[in-house]
């Protein structure tokens, strides 16, 4: 719940050392915003009544728990046009409406003109919080904007500096993101690209995978994994998954290797690394390349190594719902071999090297400088956010166990330590998954099925000649999996609610 704290309330809270709202913010009950242009005015008014240094420090402490809402020139002009007696009131109403804030908190609601935006007192704020945390509130699967207040100041400043620099394609922001991600992942080389899908395609193209080649992968993944292999002209060769981790089963890989096999593409599904030691050992034995599809697993680890650092190539996605998500599409290729790194960079720009001379046919696979700037602002928060996800996963496991459901539904075990729980996925057996999903939806708990049809049964892969029953573990997973709300902003109260609906369903 997001509220705008109006100037008079900020002054009142700082003067009276009223820490109630700050405590609410720290507990994540609410997110509070203060209009940035109000700050000098608030400081002036506070300074008139107290010692300048102390006042400044007290205001600084207060503002550290809230987000400053920048106001653009266009918003200021629009506020001027509004018919409110005082400009600051008009601007507050304008900003709250524009950003769909839940209301404005003020000590003097009567000073505001009539409006659709709720204007409330601090006491009314408490009432709203009490009401909103009642058990019948919707539980979304995730809320992309939930972390926005945390990163807003950094991300907006970074975007603005790109916009004002005029450097929109590649350039310093992209290079710095590449260095920072390479260092985060513990790899030598990283290349920013247009999406996770393009990361896969570009990595395969860099290794000259194409017509006549086979790449072993899992049928239980997002389409882009096998789709990218097929787009190069190579054949995706499916191998079934492990039932516990949902990841490619290393034990089954050897049987699928033929003279045409060039590579293995494991997927770190739901944010948990595949069994990379075993996969790398098979690859080494058969002289195969390894492409990690780490789209769902930025920040995941396997024995201290980061996802994306264990194969010949690692492919990350910055799609907004991913562990590290941008404000649009984006991705990254990590490459071990320095020569392949150089080739990958050339293929990212149509194979052009030097400019307008093409020895290779590449594509436009560039990440936007704006996305790079945003991702750089978000990267320092990644490990904290992953900590929240892991905490939520552990809480679900405890709650399900306490509710006596640990053996009724399948809980996701951490097969490889370092799971990031990009998704917290349970198994619902005996054909009850869809009914449980409907029961949760009726109680406004949102869930998702990742993925309802394994790739060997997709129409577009009919030419591969597969049929129902070819990969039974993947098929069973597709019938049983259900992702629950577990993103880092999901609260303990919401999780308790999810578990209680599931408990009632199985009563």
Ligand X SMILES: Cc1ncc(COP(=O)(O)O)c(C=O)c1O
340 closest CA partner among 297, 302, 290: 290
Question: Residue 205 or residue 295: which is nearer to ligand X going by CB?
Answer: 295
Exposure string (b/e) for 425-435, b if CB count within 10 Å is 16 or more?
bbbbeeebbee
- Using the minimum distance from each CB to ligand X, give the nearer residue, 46 or 226: 226
Closest separation in Å from C-beta 332 to ligand X: 10
Contact between 168 and 473 (Cβ < 8 Å): no
Closest residue to ligand X using C-beta atoms: 196
CB of 330 to ligand X, least distance (A): 7
Binding residues for ligand X, rule: CB under 6 A, are 195-197, 221-222, 224-225, 267, 293, 295-296, 317, 319, 329, 331
Q: How far is the CB of 335 from ligand X (least distance, A)?
A: 17
Per DSSP (E only), the strands in 269-423 are: 289-293, 301-302, 305-306, 313-317, 331-335
Tokens of 474: 């993947």
**Smaller CB distance to ligand X: residue 371 or 447?**
371
Cα distances from 403 to residues 176, 239, 466, 502, in angstroms, run 48, 36, 41, 10
- Is residue 350 within 8 Å of 209, Cβ to Cβ? no
Q: How are beta strands 235-238 and 261-265 bridged, if at all?
A: unpaired
Residue 47's CB is within 10 A of a number of other CB atoms, namely 15
Residue (66 or 202) nearer to ligand X, CB? 202
Nearest distance in Å: CB 246, ligand X: 11
Q: Please, what is the minimum distance in Å from the beta carbon of residue 317 to ligand X?
A: 3
What is the closest distance, in whole angstroms, from the C-beta atom of residue 427 to ligand X in the complex?
19
Q: Which residues contact 228 (CB under 8 A, 6 or more apart)?
A: 197, 200, 201, 204
Min dist. Cβ of residue 294 to ligand X (A): 8
What one-character DSSP code corresponds to residue 242?
Answer: P
By C-beta, is 55 or 194 nearer to ligand X?
A: 194
DSSP notation for 394-405: HHHHHHHHHTT-
For 189, the enclosing helix (H) or strand (E) is: strand 189-193
Write down how long the chain is: 507
Q: What DSSP string describes 144-166? A: GGGGHHHHHHHHHHHHHHHHHHT
Q: Measured from the CB atom, is 316 or 436 closer to ligand X?
A: 316
- Of the candidates 127, 7, 134, 130, the one whose C-alpha atom is nearest the C-alpha of residue 66 is 7
CB of 319 vs ligand X, minimal distance in Å: 4
Kindly state the tokens that stand for 381. Answer: 């928060």
Nearer to ligand X, 237 or 501 (CB): 237
Whichever of 222 and 471 has its CB closer to ligand X, that residue is 222
């Amino acid at each position: 719940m997001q509220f705008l704290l109006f100037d008079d309330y900020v002054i009142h809270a700082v003067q009276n050392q009223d820490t109630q709202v700050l405590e609410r913010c720290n507990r994540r009950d609410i997110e509070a915003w203060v209009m940035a242009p109000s700050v000098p005015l608030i400081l002036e008014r506070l300074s008139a009544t107290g010692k300048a240094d102390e006042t400044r420090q007290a205001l600084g402490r207060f503002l550290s728990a809230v987000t400053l809402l920048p106001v653009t020139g266009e918003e200021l002009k629009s506020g001027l046009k509004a018919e409110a007696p005082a400009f600051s009131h008009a601007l507050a109403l304008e900003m709250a409406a524009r950003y769909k804030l839940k209301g404005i908190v003020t000590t003097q609601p009567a000073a505001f003109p009539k409006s659709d935006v709720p204007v409330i007192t601090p006491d009314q704020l408490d009432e709203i919080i009490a009401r909103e945390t009642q058990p019948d509130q919707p539980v979304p699967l995730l809320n992309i904007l939930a972390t926005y207040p945390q990163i807003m100041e950094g991300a907006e400043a970074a975007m603005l500096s790109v916009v004002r620099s005029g450097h929109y394609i590649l350039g310093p922001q992209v290079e710095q993101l590449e260095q920072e991600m390479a260092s985060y992942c513990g790899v030598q080389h990283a290349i920013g690209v247009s999406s996770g899908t393009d990361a896969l395609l570009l990595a395969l193209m860099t290794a000259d995978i194409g017509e006549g080649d086979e790449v072993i992968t899992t049928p239980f993944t997002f389409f882009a994994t096998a789709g990218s292999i097929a787009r190069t002209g190579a054949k995706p060769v499916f191998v079934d998954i492990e039932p516990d981790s949902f990841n490619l089963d290393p034990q089954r890989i050897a049987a699928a290797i033929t003279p045409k096999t060039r590579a293995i593409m494991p997927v770190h599904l739901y944010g948990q690394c595949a069994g990379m030691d075993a996969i790398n050992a098979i690859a080494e034995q058969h002289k195969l390349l390894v492409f990690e599809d780490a789209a769902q697993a930025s920040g995941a680890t396997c024995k201290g190594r980061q996802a994306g650092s264990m194969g010949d190539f690692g492919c990350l996605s910055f799609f907004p719902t991913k562990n590290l998500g941008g404000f649009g599409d984006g991705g990254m290729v990590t490459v071990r071999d320095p020569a392949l790194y150089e080739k990958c960079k050339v293929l990212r720009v149509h194979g052009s090297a030097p400019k307008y001379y093409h020895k290779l046919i590449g594509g436009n696979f560039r990440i936007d400088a704006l996305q790079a700037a945003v991702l750089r602002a978000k990267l320092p928060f990644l490990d904290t956010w992953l900590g929240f996800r892991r905490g939520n996963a552990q809480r679900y496991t405890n709650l399900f166990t306490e509710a006596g459901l640990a053996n009724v539904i399948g809980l996701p075990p951490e097969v490889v330590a370092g799971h990031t729980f990009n998704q917290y996925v349970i198994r619902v057996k005996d054909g009850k998954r869809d009914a449980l999903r409907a029961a949760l939806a009726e109680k406004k708990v949102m869930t998702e099925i990742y993925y309802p049809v394994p790739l060997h049964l997709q129409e577009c892969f009919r030419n591969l000649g597969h049929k129902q029953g070819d990969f039974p573990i993947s098929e069973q997973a597709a019938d049983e999996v259900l992702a629950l709300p577990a993103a880092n902003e999901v609260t303990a109260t919401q999780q308790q609610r999810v578990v209680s609906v599931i408990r009632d369903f199985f009563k």
